[in-house]
Structure formats: structure tokens, C-alpha cells
Structure 1
Amino acid sequence: MTTIDLNADLGETTDGIAVADDPAMIALVSSANVATGFHAGDPHHIAATVRAAAERGVTVGAHIGYRDPGNFGRTAVDIDPARLADETLYQIGALDALARAHGTKVSYVKPHGALYNTIVHDAAQAGAVVDGVRAFGDLPLMLLPGGVAVDLAEKKGLRVVKEAFADRNYTPGGTLVPRTDDDAVIRDPAAVAARVLQVATTGAVTAVDGTVLRVDAESVCVHGDSPGAVELTRAVVARLRAERVGIRGFL
């Protein structure tokens, strides 16, 4: 049976202000990218998310980011690479402590927001993230296909899990359409479901101009904080089941 991993960015509730329905999303996905408190999330709500993931058998990943909660980690930061490496290690370790207290562990790392996009082209920051991950252990690193972070991670012995996006449009160059553009986000549940099915069965996505891009992704992200995220993800799950595509973690 063809299978695909579904992941979602979760654990981002801060001081009781939720940006996603974590319990509902955890019931649908196979991997949870859990915030570490730097771009969002507080220890109490992060703990609740990892506990729910453990109860459902959902794999936990550290969703590391810039220490910039005011911008939700979506603004690039000029940071010393040594500091970024230490902050990467710190975030993984803090989440792993909470995860182990609730019967699970951190099994992979996925950068968030601006950090995710920056390390596609910034070798210094990409190297810092890789070094921070390696300092913790041999964890897979979830990344956008292509770019310097993929090359550096593989050269240093880390497994790279290539990722595609269910509800984001792509440029012909393989990058995500900037969120400032009107067509950055796909909002139609049927279109989102069709995108995930395309990735799972063909290893490709179609860019905004019709270009078909090879991504060979092992995982597809459905953003938990998007409007109607639960309904979108339910549409994805239903379409995959109808087409006999299984949902299973990549580990």
C-alpha cells in the first residue's frame, strides 16, 4: 500500500490563547511538529500537546525557530551562528524533557517559519541548525527539498526527511509563494486533498504556473493554524482513504 506521513505544526498555544485545535489535529495526523516556546507555546500547553500525541501514537518532532514570539517566528533574524546552534540544541532538549515526562520523545526536528526558509539559502544559519541537531543526537531533519540545509545535513550524516505542503502554493523555482501574496495559501478542501494525493502517488506538486515539480516528499504538512484547518485535514484523510493511500509516520 502507498503511504504518506501527515504532519502539523502544533503546541503553539501561549497563555491560553490557542492558534490551532491540537486535539482534533492530533487525531488526524501521524506526526506533530511541537513548538518549543521560542516562536510560540508555553510549557504547560506544550506538555498537553505531547501528552495527547503520546496517547494517540503520533510521532513528536521539535518545531524549532527564532526566539521571536512577537513575530511568531515569521521574520528573518540576523543571528550569530554559534548562538543559533546553542538555541537549536536548547529547544530540542527542553521539548524532549517534556515529551519523556509524558511517555514519548523527540524523534525529529523541523525548523519553523522564517528559519525554515532562511536555511534554504543561508549556509551559516543552515550549518548552525545542523550542528545544534547533531549536538543532541542523530535525529532526522525535516526540510524543504533543495537548498543548502539539505546538503549540509546529509554531508554531516543526518537523515533528511523531505517535506511538501498541502495548503501552500509553490513558485516554479520550488519555493513557497510568500505569505504576502494573495495566492500563497490554498483554501479549498478538495484542492488541498488533491495536492496531498498528488504528492503521495506521484512525488510531485504543481506550481502556480502549472509547472510540475519533483519533491519526492516523505511527509506533507497541513498547517494547524490555517483557517478551517481541521476541515481541510479531514478532507485530506477522507480522500487518501478513498484512494487506498495509508497515513503512516516516516520513521
Structure 2
Amino acid sequence: MTTRSLLKIIPSIPVSDGAGVKLRRSLGQSQWLRLDPFLMLDEFATDNPDDYIAGFPAHPHRGFETVTYMLEGDFLHEDHLGHKGHLRGGGAQWMTAGRGIIHSEMPLQQSGRLHGFQFWINLPAAEKMKPAAYRDIQPEEIAPVPIPGGEVRVIAGTLETADGASVPGPIQGLSTAPLFLDVRLEAGRRFSHPVAEGHTAFLYPYAGSLSVGAADAAKPLPARQAGVLSPGDRIELAADSEGAGFLLLAARPLGEPVVQYGPFVMNTREEIEQALDDYRAGTLA
């Protein structure tokens, strides 16, 4: 086994998106800060409703998947195909934009804390024009799994526990074979887990910091920074003296050209022009 080390840190920066929602963006700040097949990672965390109340009014997507995971707070998803979904705290939504979708994501609260994440994961060329679809994952489907010194919520892929058990998440069978875990650890506790050789992998601690790598060669990863991992087939890390909560994300890279224009992600400039023409003509989906 080869333990992955901390290869690079991508600091998150404050940005505003949608109709003025304040958030922090690590992956996706620029085209040079992508990790194939991951295109973007945003975190929104605030107690101030002025930071989120305007939400994300209707906007289009084509060519990739958006994944939203809420720790606290509620959103309403609506799209031009007539679908509605209630994204609850502790739940997630996995949306495949495919050939096109126009949707809105609006907060279902006027006050209180909102804390969650959204990342974009690319689709292979052969799947970019498939029909749009989404799945609302209820909190009960990703209930915490106890581990020594902590707990894990499994959204995609499979958790392999220290006692040899396998706990699958609700998202399975995608071409990028994503692994998406939300891990909470007590102070000083260690966590290790297999990650497929050749898959892109990174960590995002949203509470506390981590020491990443084998114990004799660990490197610090501060909170709210994306930690890109080196090649290998396993991760090892430890929580700091305050404990930690972090996301582990991994997936099979596509190795295909990426041409992005805002909410459209295709393989060629011509495909982007077609997406814009379809959107203007009302034939995106």
C-alpha cells in the first residue's frame, strides 16, 4: 500500500455568486485550479441571512453534475422541467445537468444558520448530452456511521471500516466512480481509508485542521483549504487538538479537454457555442 501525502493546498477565497450569496471557493477559482474531474468546490457558512437570502435564481447548466450537501439549513430546488426538491439540513442533492437544465436554488428560511457545500464534477464527453436528472438524498439515507473516535456520513462510493465492513452510500455506479465522505473526528484521532489508485483525491476540512499523511511524514492542512493528495491507494490523517470535520472527495479522472463558459462545461468551443444558441432559443433541454 502507498499512503497519499499532501501535495498542494488551494486556499479558499471569499466570492459572491447567484444573487449575492457570500461563500468561499477553493477549486474553480480559475481554470488552473481544477482537479480532473472536479471543477469547483464552494462552501457557504453564515449566521447572517443577508449573506444568503437572495439565493440562486433561475440559471442554466450543461455538461456536468452539481452536488449540494447541507450541514444546516434548507433549500428549495425548482427547474424548468417541473421538478421540485426540498434539500434539508443533513441531506444532499446530486444533479446531472446533462444536455441542459435551468433551475433555481432558494433558501427556505428567513433566519438562522446556513452551512453547506456545492461541488461540480465533470461528465465524460459520451454523457454530456444525456437527459437531465437529479436525486434528492434525505438525511436518513446518509445517517452517521460510527467509527473509532468519530463518525462518517457516506454520500457516494463505499466506506470501508476498520473492522472490515463495507457501507455503501446512496450514489453508486457513475462513470467517474466518485467517493464522497463527510468525516467527523475527535481531538487527536486518526482516520485511514482506501482510495482507488489513479483516482484524483482531495480533502477539505471545514472544522478544525488536519495532519495529512503517514504519522512520520504528516503535513498540516488548515481549516477551509482544499488539500490535494498525491498518488497512492490509501489516505491517513489525524484531527488536531480541537477535533475536525472534513470532506474526502475522490473520483476517476476523465483526461478529456475542458472548455468552460460559466455554467456550460463541454469539450470544444463549438459545443459551447451550441449550448449558448440552445439556451437563447429555449431548446437547452
TM-score by structure 2 length? 0.32
Between Structure 1 and Structure 2, the one with more strand by share is 2
Between Structure 1 and Structure 2, the one with more helix by share is 1
**Structure whose alpha-carbon radius of gyration is higher:** 2
